[in-house]
């Protein structure tokens, strides 16, 4: 079942690469904070690298000026997420989350089967906005589309 507006983000452990692979929980990421979490089907994939992540990098200051943290998630390992971050010139404060086993994608009900593309289980393309761990907005793109989860669409959704 897909998470809904008003629901609490499930407690899941993810990874980041800082001085080695570090575990980080969704409670640490979301508790007491305003956070936009956007997810891509895969690091280094065409739309994700050409449009999705770059839009958040370009608009990062707009989120920060509103007191909103930004996190990017993909069903990749922490080393891939770090390499992608470096390749895309991601600001250090933009959290690059590795959901290597798709645990958060599944817990949110936003996983997809990309086996036909040789990618196995991945996350759908989405963005959510949460305050203190409670989902306030959820934008999920239809398969093959990139519209509602863009940085610009999320900025419009959450308003000033």
- Which residues are known catalytic residues? 48
Q: What 3-state class would DSSP assign to 89?
A: coil
Helical H segments across the chain, by residue range? 26-30, 46-47, 53-58, 60-65, 78-87, 103-107, 151-158
Q: What 3-state class would DSSP assign to 52?
A: helix
Distances (CA, A) of 127 to 101, 102, 105: 19, 16, 12
Provide the sign of the torsion angle of the four alpha carbons 108, 145, 120, 41, taken in this order. negative
Question: In whole angstroms, what is the distance from residue 22 CA to residue 139 CA?
Answer: 28
């Amino acid at each position: 079942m897909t998470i809904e507006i008003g629901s609490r983000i499930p407690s899941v452990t993810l990874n980041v690469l800082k001085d080695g692979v570090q575990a980080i929980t969704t409670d640490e990421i979301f508790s007491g904070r305003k956070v936009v979490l956007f997810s891509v089907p895969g690091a280094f994939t065409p739309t994700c690298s050409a449009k999705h992540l770059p839009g958040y990098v370009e608009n990062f200051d707009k989120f920060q000026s509103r007191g909103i943290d930004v996190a990017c998630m993909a069903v990749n390992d922490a080393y891939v997420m770090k390499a992608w971050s470096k390749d895309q010139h991601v600001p250090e404060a933009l959290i690059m989350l590795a959901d290597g086993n798709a645990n958060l994608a599944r817990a949110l009900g936003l996983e997809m089967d990309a086996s036909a593309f040789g990618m196995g289980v991945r996350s759908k393309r989405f963005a959510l906005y949460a305050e203190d761990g409670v989902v306030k907005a959820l934008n999920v793109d239809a398969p093959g589309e990139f519209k509602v989860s863009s940085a610009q669409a999320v900025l419009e959704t959450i308003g000033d």
